[in-house]
């Protein structure tokens, strides 16, 4: 057995989360095609492997073996840095998401979470706000007018929707009183109490957050930075081979992360209904030890949060193949004159409800 002295349990969790984000993003490309085919009444990918399950692998081989092209007059360094930044920022945010409660073996206990910090929500928000750099730098470095237009659209879109997103988060903060995502999750289910998930207390905030999440991940109906009908391919017009792959891939990682954040903030994270009753049933009726019952509940919770995440990912794809794209002025008007005032109203409403003891 090889000793890995530098690696504790937590590093293993981080590695698993990293691997899972990549795996899920890989199969998102497959799921997107299957769902598109389903919604448009087509067959979809079914050639590579059973049910076309090896399609992502075939795509990866195609991406890696394509010609690597640098446009004339491009800034070579930044042209490569762009997709790297997009991928790095996409992967960074999953570090603070709690994918499960505590696992305990004897005296050792660890969280199914990369790092537990008391600024978890701010970390997510910070990393999300950095996500636009990959798109901006890549679009500028391509030395192409369409790419530049895409980059500039991405910048203004992200800044505009970040404001409403941040303010919808503040309302969650007001009812939870903590920035730690683990604490927020635990508050949504307390043993022996009839505790609601945050979606019940924050329906308006959730809708604002959901719309902003679509805008921040550059998904249809807000995919104006790439918008192929106006800008050829937007910021990634000039990209080829795996550099393009990284851009497309980082979009799916972002969808995964944003789905995880929505599950944690509004849909109870790793909690599922009657978990404490189930644990007590294992302990009292089946004679299990408390630790192993708790571990089983934790694992079931981890499965639960992933089911919630998959549901949100499906929702993202469903919307993509249902709604047409917004026009640019409509996008800006929605962000500044509808979502931001609504978010402010939501903060005031939440404050009033807390003041009068309703929630």
Partner 1 sequence: MHPLFLFLSFVALLSALGVVFTKNPVHSVLFLILTFFTISGHYLLLNAQFLAAVNIIIYAGAIMVLFLFVIMFLNLNELTEPQKPALAKIAAAIAGGSLLLILVAALKDIVPTGAVTGTAFNSQIGMVDQLGLKLYTDFLLPFELASVLFLIAMVGAVMLGKRETGERNF
User: Which residues of this chain interact with partner 1, rule CB under 8 A?
Assistant: 75, 78, 117-119, 122-123, 125-126, 129-130, 132-133, 136-137, 140, 148, 151-152, 155-156, 158-159, 162-163, 179, 327, 329, 332-333, 336-337, 340-341, 344
Tokens of 5: 């002295």
Cβ-proximal residues to 137 (8 Å cutoff; 6+ apart), any chain: 78, 81, 82, 85, 151
Cβ-proximal residues to 257 (8 Å cutoff; 6+ apart), any chain: 21, 90, 93, 94, 97, 124
Q: Which is nearer to partner 1, 158 or 295 (CB)?
A: 158
CB of 337 to partner 1, least distance (A): 6
Q: Which is nearer to partner 1, 283 or 332 (CB)?
A: 332
Choose among 148, 145, 158, 33: nearest CA to 89.
158
Nearest-angstrom CA–CA distance, 184 and 264: 8
> Cα dist. 96→115, 193, 195, 257 in Å?
5, 27, 24, 10
CB of 11 to partner 1, least distance (A): 19
Nearest-angstrom CA–CA distance, 101 and 159: 34
CB of 269 to partner 1, least distance (A): 20
CB of 250 to partner 1, least distance (A): 17
CB of 26 to partner 1, least distance (A): 28
Nearest-angstrom CA–CA distance, 114 and 99: 9
Count other C-beta atoms under 10 Å from residue 1's C-beta: 3
Nearest-angstrom CA–CA distance, 122 and 109: 26
CB of 311 to partner 1, least distance (A): 29
CB of 159 to partner 1, least distance (A): 6
Q: Which is nearer to partner 1, 140 or 206 (CB)?
A: 140
CB of 43 to partner 1, least distance (A): 39
CA 235 to chain centre: 21
Q: Which is nearer to partner 1, 245 or 335 (CB)?
A: 335
Q: Which is nearer to partner 1, 47 or 76 (CB)?
A: 76
The enclosing H or E element of 111 equals strand 108-113
Count how many residues are written for the chain. Answer: 359
Nearest-angstrom CA–CA distance, 108 and 59: 42
Q: Which is nearer to partner 1, 124 or 313 (CB)?
A: 124
CB of 251 to partner 1, least distance (A): 18
Report how far apart the first and last C-alpha atoms of the chain are (Å, whole number): 53
222 neighbors 331 (Cβ within 8 angstroms): yes
Q: Which is nearer to partner 1, 158 or 218 (CB)?
A: 158
The enclosing H or E element of 103 equals strand 98-105
Q: Which is nearer to partner 1, 123 or 267 (CB)?
A: 123
Q: Which is nearer to partner 1, 104 or 187 (CB)?
A: 187
């Amino acid at each position: 057995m090889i000793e890995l002295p530098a690696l504790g349990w937590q590093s293993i969790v981080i590695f698993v989360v990293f691997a899972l984000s990549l795996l899920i993003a890989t199969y998102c490309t497959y799921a997107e095609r299957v769902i598109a085919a389903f919604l448009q009444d087509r067959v979809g990918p079914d050639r590579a492997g059973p049910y076309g399950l090896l399609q992502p692998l075939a795509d990866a081989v195609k991406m890696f073996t394509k010609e690597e092209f640098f446009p004339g007059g491009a800034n070579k360094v930044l042209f490569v840095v762009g997709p790297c930044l997009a991928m790095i920022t996409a992967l960074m945010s999953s570090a603070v998401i709690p994918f499960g409660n505590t696992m305990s073996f004897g005296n050792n206990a660890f969280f199914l979470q990369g790092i537990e910090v008391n600024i978890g929500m701010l970390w997510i928000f910070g990393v999300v706000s950095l996500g636009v750099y990959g798109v901006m730098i890549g679009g500028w470095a391509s030395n192409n007018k369409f790419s530049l237009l895409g980059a500039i659209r991405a910048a203004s879109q992200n800044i505009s929707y970040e404001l409403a997103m941040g303010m919808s988060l503040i309302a969650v903060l007001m009812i939870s009183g903590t920035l730690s995502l683990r604490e927020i999750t635990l508050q949504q289910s307390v043993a022996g109490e009839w505790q609601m998930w945050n979606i019940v207390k924050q329906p308006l905030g959730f809708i604002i957050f959901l719309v902003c999440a679509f805008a921040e991940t550059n998904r249809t109906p807000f995919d104006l930075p790439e918008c192929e009908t106006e800008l050829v391919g937007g910021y990634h017009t000039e990209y080829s081979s795996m550099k393009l792959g990284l851009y497309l891939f980082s979009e799916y990682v972002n969808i995964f992360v944003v789905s995880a954040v929505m599950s944690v903030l509004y849909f109870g994270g790793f909690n599922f209904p009657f978990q404490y009753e189930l644990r007590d049933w294992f302990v009292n009726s089946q004679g299990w030890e408390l630790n192993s019952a708790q571990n089983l509940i934790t694992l079931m919770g981890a499965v639960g949060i992933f089911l919630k995440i998959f549901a949100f990912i499906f929702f993202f794809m469903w919307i993509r193949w249902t709604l047409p794209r917004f026009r640019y002025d409509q996008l800006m008007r929605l962000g500044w004159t509808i979502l931001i005032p609504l978010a402010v109203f939501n903060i005031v409403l939440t404050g009033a409800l807390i003041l009068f003891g309703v929630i």
